[in-house]
Amino acid sequence: MKPEGLITLLVGLSAFATILTIAAPLLQGDQMRSRMKGIATERERLRAAHRAALADTGRLRDKPHPGLLTQLVEALNLRKVFEAETSRDGLRQAGYRSERYLVYFLAARLITPIVLGVIFFIYSTQVFGDTIPTSMRFASLLVGLVAGFYLPNVWIKNKIGRRQLSIKRAWSDALDLLLICVESGMSIEAAMQRVAREIGSQSVPLAEELTLTCAELSYLPDRRKAFENLGKRTGLPTVKSVVTSLIQSERYGTPMGQALRVLGQENRDMRMSEAEKRAASLPPKLTVPMILFFLPVIFIVILGPSLIMVLAANR
């Protein structure tokens, strides 16, 4: 806890963070290829489930042996305790669709508070020793439990936020491409497949969602369910409005191109209004940094020479 040790630790952490920031883009790899591989796996799962539903004759099938985390989740009934359906929707919006991710998340919500609580308690005991009372040690244990309870949810919300931001930025261009494909005579499945290939360089999550929607349109008996799943997986109001228009067009046979043109124009207007709103909120946000960083420097530059001359004259 000496100043020299703290300075050395901070310098080391800063150097490590700098190296990690520079090397992170090089270690990411091809996200488009890996995510399209995951979509292909999801498509095969849908196909297998559809064939199993058609060929089901009521025979007993061997169930796979559940893993340790699955047994833990089932034994403690964590699906009911942590509201599994809400967690499943959040994981799908974050891009984790497999059932095993739900098991991992529910188990993490149970294990993370215990692990962080133990770490906080051991750290406060070993580092501070007898300098702090026992009540403070148990307070650190409580802080670790609370932080561990909210940490998985915060991580999932950050993943959802980044994914929704990527989809939102590319959604206007995707609507324009979808409009062009539909008006050229392509079906909605072929149009979405083409748009997914073109938009992948701009937004991998959006290409992933469109490809998965095409797979669901091919294998789900209710096409409306496939469109609704697209709105649920993204969680964006703009996507849900387009999904509603597509469902109405499928149901009543209304022209899809006209609806897409109107929705595309509304989306561009919303983006422009949001940009104007951010620009209008910029001056109040700059007030505090200017007071803290710019004004002291200006005062030093203006009053510094006069202050030096006054001190020199008094000597």
3-state DSSP of 223-261: HHHHHHHHHHHHCCHHHHHHHHHHHHHHHHCCCHHHHHH
Q: Note whether residue 183 is domain-resident.
A: yes
What is the rounded CA–CA span in Å between residue 221 and residue 243? 17
Torsion, Cα 41 42 47 48, to 10 degrees, reads: 70
Judged by phi (left if over 0) then psi (alpha if -120 to 50, else beta), residue 191 lies in: alpha
Return the pLDDT at 44.
64
Q: Note whether residue 232 is domain-resident.
A: yes
Q: Note whether residue 187 is domain-resident.
A: yes
What token pair was written down for 248?
A: 């109405």
Higher local confidence (pLDDT), 118 or 42: 118
* CB contact at 8 A, 131 and 164: no
Q: How many domains does the chain have?
A: 1
Q: Note whether residue 312 is domain-resident.
A: no
Higher local confidence (pLDDT), 302 or 36: 302
Q: Which of 98-102, 127-131, 150-154 has the highest mean pLDDT?
A: 150-154
How do residues 206-245 score in pLDDT, each as one tens digit? 888 888 888 888 888 888 888 888 888 888 888 888 888 8
Specify burial of residue 214 (Cβ count, 10 A radius: 0-12, 13-18, 19+): buried
Amino acid letter at 215?
A
Q: Note whether residue 72 is domain-resident.
A: no
pTM (predicted TM-score): 0.69
pLDDT (mean) for 272-295: 85
pLDDT (mean) for 159-163: 90
Whole-Å CA distances, 105 to 111, 112, 148: 10, 10, 12
What is the rounded CA–CA span in Å between residue 101 and residue 119? 25
Q: Note whether residue 182 is domain-resident.
A: yes
* CB contact at 8 A, 245 and 258: no
How do residues 136-157 score in pLDDT, each as one tens digit? 878 888 888 888 888 989 999 9
Return the pLDDT at 59.
46
Amino acid letter at 86?
T
Q: Note whether residue 20 is domain-resident.
A: no
> 245 is in which domain, residue-wise?
165-275
Q: Note whether residue 46 is domain-resident.
A: no
Specify burial of residue 270 (Cβ count, 10 A radius: 0-12, 13-18, 19+): middle
What is the rounded CA–CA span in Å between residue 151 and residue 109? 8
